[in-house]
Chains A and B, each alone.
Chain A
Amino acid sequence: MWTIAGEGIHPIDRKSETSSIPISEIKPPSKVVIPLSQHIGAPCESLVKIGDLVKKYQKVGEAKGFVSSPVHSPVSGKVVAIGRFPHPSGNQSNSIVIESDGKDELIDSLKENSNYLNADPKDLKGIILGAGIVGMGGATFPTHVKLSPPQEKKITAVILNGAECEPFLTSDDRLMVEKSMEVIEGMKILMHIMGVRDGYIGIENDKPGAIKAINQSATGTNIKVISLEKKYPQGAEKQLIKSVTGKEVPSGGLPMDVGIVVQNVGTAAAVYNAVRYGVPLVERIVTVTGNGINRRGNFRIPVGTLLEHVIAECGGLAGEPGKILFGGPMMGIAQYSMLVPILKGTSGILIIPKGDVVLEDFRACIRCGRCVQACPIRLLPNMYSILGEAGKPKDAEEYHVLDCIECGCCTYVCPSRRPIVQQIRYIKAEMRKAKSKVA
């Protein structure tokens, strides 16, 4: 069995509530809000003005700098506002608001290419950049950057991440079941760009349908499907690399330091659609689930669609909502407004009814060590918790707090209900502050 040794947890996952529901469309939104910052890196710059008419797939925001990614319109219509609007990260962000004319008029410059595996890798990277593709597993790092390691880093393999270890979410699962060909073709393009022979797709073994479909599409290729033990956070980049290759990414380093490039399966499918049909990344598959929504499922949703529209299309809220999360229960972000848009990295919306939200006071650390045993990075989360609570962020440095991936395993298992991840974020923020003061 391929797995991360020892560490990790087995949270209640409730994937079966949506894993067999095929991907479906929702009624197109009449208005989209497209944030200029949907990726890690510099926000992009608006290419349009209020009153401009835009077509579907038209680029409306241009990348600024190398680590940045453009944004496109998923509809045809008119730009009605540009300004700061609620963003799922919790802040407001510069966004372009487009009112749809419902006609879905396409731009006329869509370039198809069926001979993509003979294309120049440089050109392919250009297409990926132009299509605004970012990591769709949630990290939203611009894909073209990941595909451009410095010369001295020799890349030996590409790994596709189909683990989907986050509880409740099934969007990658459905994608692999229904669109395995797109995933595999996208993978071939990625491998061609990186010039590697070996490709792996890691999938947790609770997704037999996905494993079968991907295996079928991968026959006759150099792409190996790796069945991973179901365990959270198996799909975290570092853990995936360890499970598949046995190598550990050095502390503070990147996957390329061990010759690996990791991409999400959704990203691979987006790469295929961009390269083959010239289609930019303007929609994605989102799992909508939780006890707080009337109709659960996996939906193909245009990027920029507002949360309230998605909820209305899913039969509305079931009772009073307590928390609405973008992402799953382990790493998802709690939303403060119903007017936040779906982003390129939004893999799921989880709605927890008010009655299900338990807010407990936390207690003293009882030194049980459960967090220590659960930590996939083998850190000492109990120390972060204690030092964070005591307001001594400086002392946490010697415990390598910057290696923490904020996976939430420690908080999940803590019987004293200590908000360890929150305390870690506080420590990291204090360290950043101290650093910027020195610099």
Chain B
Amino acid sequence: MAEAAVEQEDKKGKSEEPVPKLILTSSPHQLSPDSIERIMWTVVLSLAPASLAGLYFFGLSALYVLIVSVCSTMAAEAIYQKLSGVKSTVTDGSAAVTGLLIGLTLPPGSPWWVSVIGGFFAIIICKQLYGGLGFNPFNPALMSRVFLLIAFPLQMTTWPMPSPLFSGIDASTGATPLGKLQVARLTGKGIGKAAELNIWDAFIGNLGGSIGEVSAIALLIGAAYLIYKQYITWHIPVSMIGTVMIFSGIFWMIDPSKYVNPVFHLFTGSLIIGAFFMATDMVTCPVTLKGQLLFGFGCGLITVIIRMWGGYPEGVSFAIVLMNIVSPLIDRYLRPVRYGAIKAGSR
């Protein structure tokens, strides 16, 4: 080996001759084009049909709400990050998604300060104070909605009836279908007329409610796009909506004079926007598909319970926030069965 040592000395000069400086990194050397930016802005895009439907049915009063909400969350993120001296992530689209979701779940024509308070609350209290995107245990848009519902019940439940753009009709206010139902339920008169729902109107969105909740078809178009892009999977929405339909169906069959039919549950309130756009928030739902099925089931179950017996007409937001708390537990205990894991008893 003495020769070897000599040779090594000899060669040393040679192997250090000027070669192009090459970049050394660990594999893989190719990455998917799906960055956070691309995913978040695609979610914004997927909410465009619902936003446009809201504008169509509620006119300019809806436009102001959406614009102020989105500007508030983005401003909150920019200001907070500027003050705390960290790199700004305003352009990654996540604040925009939060703002848009807040706006879409507000009543059209709600005062501007509701949007601003909601936006700042969502970004600063529910996201940045936890450490920013990825560390927040709750979906910021939902938390902010729950907060607004509790803090400003009046502003949050004044529902203008649709007065489509260009129709020339002045806006009037009325109750949402779920609101009417709750009144009927709590006054003990039986649900009667409250359960009547024009399915077609509900499907396209011609009824009272939040800006972005009313049009099922517009929401579903956007959701289909997200599923096609594989930015969300079907597991949470299907299990959440399925659970609501099955449970409400069972009670409806037992006593249709006391309980409304499942289709009513599907098309009223925020079930669709919640199931496809809020429960699926990647930061706050479980990471495994099995976990997501369980998560969706929990969301659906709590929604039905609140809607049927709770003190609020609508339970979707509360249900998802409650399940957000459980997400880490689900991830901890419901792990995928890894390849080649010996199943109990097989060896």
Contacts and interface: CB of A to CB of B under 8 A. Distances in A.
Interface of A: 9, 11-12, 49-50, 81-86, 90, 94, 167, 238, 242, 248-253, 317, 320-325, 327, 329-339, 350, 352, 354, 357-359, 363-370, 372-373, 376-380, 382, 400, 403, 406, 408, 411-417, 419, 421-422, 425
Interface size class of B (residues with CB under 8 A): 35 or more
A376 B340 CA distance: 11
Nearest to A329: B30
Contacts of B27: 327, 329-334, 406, 408, 421
A322 B21 CA distance: 8
B24 A380 contact: no
Per CB-CB distance, the 10 closest pairs between chain A and chain B, nearest first, are A408-B28, A83-B7, A369-B287, A364-B134, A329-B30, A368-B282, A422-B26, A378-B336, A251-B340, A83-B8
Interface in B70-98: none
Contacts of B288: 369, 372, 380
Contacts of A252: 340
A29 B342 CA distance: 51
A81 B28 CA distance: 35
B4 A83 contact: yes
Chain A at the B interface: SS class: loop
B289 interface: yes
Interface in B249-292: 282-289, 292
A90 B132 CA distance: 38
B22 A334 contact: yes
Nearest to B4: A83
Contact of B23 (A90, A357, A372): A357
Given A337-B15, A379-B338, A321 B20 contact: yes
A251 B342 contact: yes
Contacts of B229: none
B316 to A, nearest CB: 21
Nearest to A374: B32
A127 B35 CA distance: 51
Contacts of A238: 339-340
Given A322-B23, A357-B23, 18 more contacts: A83-B10, A84-B4, A84-B11, A238-B339, A238-B340, A330-B28, A334-B23, A334-B29, A364-B134, A365-B134, A369-B282, A369-B292, A378-B336, A400-B341, A415-B35, A415-B39, A416-B36, A421-B26
A420 to B, nearest CB: 10
A238 B36 CA distance: 31
B5 interface: yes
B19 A359 contact: no
Contacts of A242: 339
B234 to A, nearest CB: 13
B135 interface: yes
A243 to B, nearest CB: 12
Residue in B30, B31, B32, B135 whose Cβ sees the most chain A Cβ within 10 Å:
B30
B3 interface: yes
17 contacts: A50-B3, A82-B7, A83-B6, A83-B10, A330-B29, A331-B28, A336-B22, A336-B24, A368-B282, A379-B336, A379-B338, A382-B287, A412-B32, A413-B32, A414-B31, A419-B25, A421-B26
B338 A403 contact: yes
A337 B19 CA distance: 7
A364 B32 contact: no
B20 A352 contact: no
Contacts of B342: 250-251
Given A49-B3, A368-B287, A378-B336, A338 B20 contact: yes
A322 B22 contact: yes
B344 interface: no
Contacts of A323: 22-25, 29
B133 interface: yes
B9 to A, nearest CB: 8
Contacts of A84: 4, 8, 11
B337 interface: yes
Contacts of B170: none
Interface in B128-184: 131-135
Contact of A364 (B3, B11, B132, B335): B132
Contact of B287 (A85, A337, A352, A367): A367
Contacts of A417: 31, 35
Contact of B29 (A85, A338, A352, A354): A352
A248 B31 CA distance: 28
Contacts of B22: 321-324, 334-337
Contacts of B11: 81, 83-85
A365 B132 CA distance: 11
Contacts of A83: 3-8, 10-11
